[in-house]
Amino acid sequence: MINSVLIKVRGFHVDIFQHVNNARYLEFLEEGRWAFFDDFGSGTELMQQGIAWAVVNINIDFKSEANFGDVLAVQTHFSKLGNRSITMKQRIINTQNQNVVAEADVTYVCFSKELKAAVPLPDDYRQKIEAAIV
């Protein structure tokens, strides 16, 4: 499953060089992941059990700039499944010229609020993720 969300670059996204500041890409990527989980099913039942996803690693490769007025597509999908973790692959594409603006790998752990520790993914959720890996 690949999810895509569109983001229009606004004036508050750009820096003094008139291109999107690198810190803003973290926000764009997060917006993409939230949209993905909305469509996938964010695991409300997990939250009710005191389990949450905690980001433990983000790697971003910046490929080309984005500017005021550009419309960016943030594409998100699961790429890897561990015992206690999932990794998502994200790509930001400028819809006007199809240039890849940035690529990112984001790793989450399944985290127990009660234990304050990473825990194995519940089997039913693991199976749902396995079926969605691209």
Residues with catalytic roles: 15
Pair 88, 77: CB distance under 8 Å: yes
Q: What is the DSSP string of 122-133?
A: PHHHHHHHHHH-
Q: Which of 129, 89, 86 is nearest to 109 (CA)?
A: 86
